[in-house]
Amino acid sequence: MEFSKPSVRALRERLDESMFGNSVIKPILLELGVNASLGNAKFDDDRVTFQLIIENKDALREIERDLPDMAKLYGLDTTKIGKHKGKSFSLVGWKRRARKEPWVIQDLESGTEYIIGLSYAQNLFGTEESKPTLTLTDRNGTPIE
């Protein structure tokens, strides 16, 4: 068999059904208190390699792990409910690899997650000391009162 993207996709679906559906592995996972899933796949013409991801049932998602530290660094309040156009949002994550829009917010009504940039996150969830202020200065950079 020669592996291609569609054949690897079909193989993944069948493995998911057989390994993590009603199989021998499911009682073992329940007994150990962990979740398992198939991760990324690498393949060439002759071989396919799947990642097997096993994590604790109460494990945080990757975006949730770094949120407290990064929110503190940027002066954002993770307990604050942000309001925009009649909707309520909560700050739920920070994507470490995203440069332009790293903050993840969740609509509290629908549960839909959105990504936003720092300036919008500061408007919704910023503390008073984190919000930018404008100071008039002269040509030398000294503040004008």
In a domain, 67, yes or no: yes
Residue 49 and residue 18 share a domain? yes
Q: Are residues 52 and 68 in the same domain?
A: no
The domain of 67 spans: 62-125
> What domain count does the chain have?
2
Partnered with residue 13 across adjacent β-strands are none
Q: In terms of domains, do 38 and 71 share one?
A: no
Q: Are residues 19 and 74 in the same domain?
A: no
Residue pair 91/103 in contact (Cβ under 8 Å)? The answer is yes
At 143 the pLDDT is 82
Contacts of residue 132, Cβ cutoff 8 Å, sequence gap at least 6: 122
Question: pLDDT digits over 78-105, tens only?
Answer: 999 999 999 999 999 999 999 899 999 9
- pTM, entire model: 0.64
Q: Is the dihedral angle over the CA atoms 84, 90, 94, 98 positive or is it negative?
A: negative
